[in-house]
Structure formats: C-alpha cells, structure tokens
Amino acid sequence: MATDIIIATTNKGKIKEFKQLFEGNERVIKSLLDYPHIMDIPEDGHTFHENAAIKAETLAGILNCTVIADDSGLEVDALNGAPGIYSARYAGEQKNDAANIEKLLKELEGTPEEKRTARFVCVIAVAQPGEETIYFKGQFDGIITSQPQGEKGFGYDPIFYIPELGQTAAEISSNEKNARSHRGKAIQELLKYKNLFNL
Ligand SMILES: O=c1nc[nH]c2c1ncn2[C@H]1C[C@H](O)[C@@H](COP(=O)(O)OP(=O)(O)OP(=O)(O)O)O1
Ligand SMILES: [Mg+2]
C-alpha cells in the first residue's frame, strides 16, 4: 500500500498547488489540516531554510515518517528584500492576504515601475526520521504592480506581474503558474530525487 505524502502546511493555496504538482503520483497528499490536534508550529527561524526545516522536522518527529515543508515569501528589491521570511505576517499575526497586499503597496507608493522588481522564493525541506534534512529551492522573478489584478492563486499573486506573460500570477492558469513558479521549480527538483524519499 502506498504511503501518504505529508506536507507540513496549513496554507490552502500551497496545498492546492502541491496536489497539482504531484499529479500522476497515486499517493494521497495530506497536510496539517488533516491533523487538527497538532498545534501550530512556531516559525522562529531566520531564513527560509531554517523555517522549512522547523516545520518539516517537527511534524516528521511527531508522525515518525517523511514530511515535506515549504517556506516561501516575497523579496522586494526596493525594500531591501522585505517582507521576505515575514511575508505571511507582514500586516500582522492574522496572516491576511488582502492586508499584506495593502501594506506592501503603501510601502511602494511613489516607487517607479523599473524599481519595483521582486522575486518569490520557495525552500522545500524534506525531513526523514534519523536522516539529514534535504532542501530544494526555487525562485520566480516579477514586478510589483500598483494595484491588484486577477482573482486566481493566493497570497501576493494579484500584485505579482510576470513581464513575459503580461499578466499577474493571479490572472494566469494554475498550470502556467506551476510551470514557472518558485514552488513549481523547487518541486521539479525534488521530484528528480523522489525514489530517495519513497515518494
Ligand atoms: O505562490 C505564491 N503566491 C503568492 N504568495 C505567495 C506564494 N508563495 C508564498 N507566498 C506568500 C504567502 C505568504 O504570505 C508567504 C508564505 O509564508 P509561509 O510561512 O511560507 O506560509 P504560511 O504561513 O502561509 O503557511 P505554512 O507556514 O503553514 O506553510 O509568502
Ligand atoms: Mg507560515
């Protein structure tokens, strides 16, 4: 019997993308939403790598099996890389996408288009009990718009403009996003090693 693939996340946008990116794999994808009794894992690391490891290793320890985690965020050049690892809680502990977007647009008010370059970063950690944690990274370059455009995706997607496509990440299909996104690239790398992790 195939074992489940377990992702240490409560983010529904990420879960949807992981399910699409692992399509063709007969394993069931489970997330922290399937383990409601497990308390929130504090993300108190200083880097994407540290936070991804904290999430993956904590859950791998509790469940005693292989666990994947994704720590990701948006680095804006004009803000010296902020919000970065603080992207989810940029506008406060409630982790509200609309409030985060509003705050970011306010910070960038008056910044001309050529200085609004940014990138999404995703670090995936794979933790296995008794083994070294292994990491995969992906990046996705874009430009921060001056107002939200599009309804798809999640997080900062409505203000993340992709010059080659002339659309924001919230206007393109999930297939188009997964083919070029930070998460899509990190998972493509991970899938090269899937036999190693029994995925
Ligand atoms: O493709 C993306 N499109 C738009 N926004 C994105 C994306 N990828 C990450 N982001 C933003 C959302 C959140 O503000 C932060 C992730 O924070 P991060 O701590 O990794 O995730 P989270 O707290 O939402 O869920 P969890 O820690 O349970 O996986 O970066
Ligand atoms: Mg988080």
**Ligand 1 and 73: CB distance under 6 A:** yes
In the three-class reduction of DSSP (H, G, I as helix; E, B as strand; rest coil), residue 121 is classed as strand
Cβ-proximal residues to 114 (8 Å cutoff; 6+ apart), any chain: none
Distance CA 53, CA 57 (A): 6
Is 77 annotated as ligand-binding? no
Domains and CATH numbers, the chain: 5-192 (3.90.950.10)
What residue's CA is closest to ligand 1, atom 28? Answer: 9
Sequential pLDDT tens for the chain (199 residues):
568 999 999 999 999 999 999 987 778 899 999 999 999 999 999 999 999 999 999 999 999 999 999 999 999 999 999 999 999 999 999 999 999 999 999 999 999 999 999 999 999 999 999 999 999 999 999 999 999 999 999 999 999 999 999 999 999 999 999 999 999 999 999 999 877 777 7
